[in-house]
Amino acid sequence: MAGKIDMDALINSGKFEYYKHLFEKINAERAAVSDGLSPLQINGTHDAFLNASSDPKKGHIFLVQTQGFLPTHYNGGVQSGIDTGGQTFYVLNTAKALAKLGHKVTVLGQRFGNLGPYLLWFQDPGGGVVEIVRLIPGGLKLDAAGHTVVGPSLTPKEELYSKFRGMAEDAAVIGFLRGAFGFVGGYTDGNIIGVSAAQALDVGSIAITHSMGQKKALNEGFKLDDPFTYFGNWFNFGIRKQAEIAAILSASRVIANAPDEAAAYKALYGVDDPGSVFYPPGVHRAFFTSNLLGGGYRAEIDTAKALIAQNNLV
């Protein structure tokens, strides 16, 4: 990405007008219906989302998860044939936990093909509504007829690096229109998009690396002194490393998932981040064990509280 996003220019752009129009109530509901949701499925969740607390102490939090599949529906748990596993559980259950704590929550995912509505809302019986908005890799594009141009399939995370700028601009516009109070990114893509949008809006941001590209390269036997490892390989480790360093240095706070992660930043990347906070990710035990030990969303609620209390995001 080249330089800070210019919000003044974005506010006067067609992209801004598109999302402003989309988020008007009737158009938002029409968008959901046109993407396959029935009016019954919407079932007032849009109104519930808009009517959620607007108390600044219960601010609107954005979670950015653009590298995996987000589900098409959510009823007490993730129920989708296009779920990519733990990362989806972690993001959506943390979103749900934040919503239960009284926050408006929007999850930014990736839009592609016709594998799910690009705008929908999940309402949990226990309280709280989560909104999902899917971003097109590279940012919003319209054809001559004014229709969105969407790729046919998921863009792998290894191919998203050149598409961050447009996605971050979309995130900033949506955050502006929705009144974002802070962004929480996950993985390299989510962190760069979240940090960039947060800087454009002058709000807080949290980066959660989850993994490190250089560590992955080492674990998979790549030679770090071989230029091909970084710039000729499909994994794009070189670009990923630069993006990870930028996210770590630019975020308001970094959440480490392992106790030695901050030390790894310094050892592998030469980045000293004494403000990094160690907090292990929540685990949905009912999903990751075969005997349904329970645990429900307890871990995710604890994680959500930590995101707020330890990082002064809101």
User: pLDDT tens-digit profile of 212-230?
Assistant: 888 888 888 887 777 776 6
Local structure of residue 282 (DSSP, 8 states): P
Residue 292: what pLDDT? 33
The C-alpha atoms of residue 297 and residue 183 are separated, in whole angstroms, by 21
Q: For residue range 271-314, what is the model confidence (pLDDT) as tens digits?
A: 887 777 776 655 544 444 433 333 334 445 555 565 555 445 44
Give phi and psi for 120, each to the nearest 5: -160, 175
Three-class DSSP category at 51: coil
Please say whether the beta carbons of 112 and 152 come within 8 A.
Answer: yes
DSSP 153: S
Full 3-state SS string of 67-125: CCCCCCCECCCECCCCCCCHHHHHHHHHHHHHHHCCCCEEEEEECCCCCCCCEEEEECC
Confirm if 67 and 187 have CB atoms less than 8 A apart.
Answer: yes
CA distance 48 to 55: 15
Q: How much is the pLDDT for 235?
A: 81
The single residue listed with the structure tokens 């995912």 is 109
CA angle 177, 179, 180 (to 5 degrees): 115
- Give mean pLDDT, residues 97-107: 84
pLDDT score recorded for residue 290: 37
Give the pLDDT mean for 94-99: 82
- pTM to 2 decimal places: 0.85
List, for residues 43-91, the tens digit of each pLDDT value.
667 777 777 655 556 778 999 988 877 766 554 444 443 445 566 667 8
Question: In the structure, how many helices (H) and strands (E) does the chain have?
Answer: 14, 8
User: Tens digit of pLDDT for each residue in 130-169?
Assistant: 888 999 999 999 888 888 888 888 888 888 988 999 999 9
Task: Encode pLDDT of 177-199 as tens digits.
Answer: 998 989 999 888 999 999 999 99
Predicted pLDDT of residue 41: 60
Angle at 122 between CA 119 and CA 124, to 5 degrees: 170
